[in-house]
Amino acid sequence: MTSPPLEVRDHGDLLRFSFDDVVRYSGRSSIGGVAHGFKVMERALPLLDGGAAPDRVDITIVSAFGGGGARDAFEMVTRAVTGGRFRVDADLAPDGPPSPMGRYVFRFSHRTGALVQLTLRPGLVLDEFIDLAARGPKNPAEEQRLADLKQQMADLLMSLPAAEVYDAEMLQP
């Protein structure tokens, strides 16, 4: 399955971003985080402005996940990092699914008042990945294994519809 491009507006102009676009921006060292960021936006963006492509300057993101790949994905598509509309809050979801860099929980809000929380579904991130990434690889073999696990995770996430990767819950602002 190929994921559809992410669509946002920039002062009225429709912009489309493929996964490959985001990978070219971020690079491959955090490919798993890029895939998480892409899938989170694939799930969240249609919920923010009644199904229309939201204007990216109207999107704010709070993340319990501090990974650079997801941050890069959010920046490329929404410009939220540069615009001061992105922040990491480790306390956002203390019981959310664990990652090596926080929790796989994200909140997107929009000027329309829409607020959606996205939580990773169980079984999509291997414990081996979390353990190895959290402690850091100790030798070249572990570095290669971590790179392989990141790529496997990205491949899995990108092969699934966003609704099978992230649950979405509309919250009251």
Other CB atoms within a 10 A radius of the CB of residue 154 amount to: 23
Query: Tokens for 25?
Result: 């921006």
With 0-12 CB in 10 A as exposed, 13-18 as middle and 19+ as buried, what is 9?
Answer: middle
Quote the pLDDT of residue 173: 73
Domain extents for the chain?
6-58+67-85+122-164
**What is the full per-residue pLDDT of the chain (173 aa) written as tens digits?**
578 999 999 999 999 999 999 999 999 999 999 999 999 999 999 999 999 999 999 999 999 999 999 999 999 999 999 999 999 998 998 889 999 989 999 999 999 999 999 999 999 999 999 999 999 999 999 999 999 999 999 999 999 999 999 999 999 87
Quote the pLDDT of residue 1: 59
Specify the 3-state DSSP secondary structure of 17: strand
Number of H helices, E strands in the chain: 5, 8
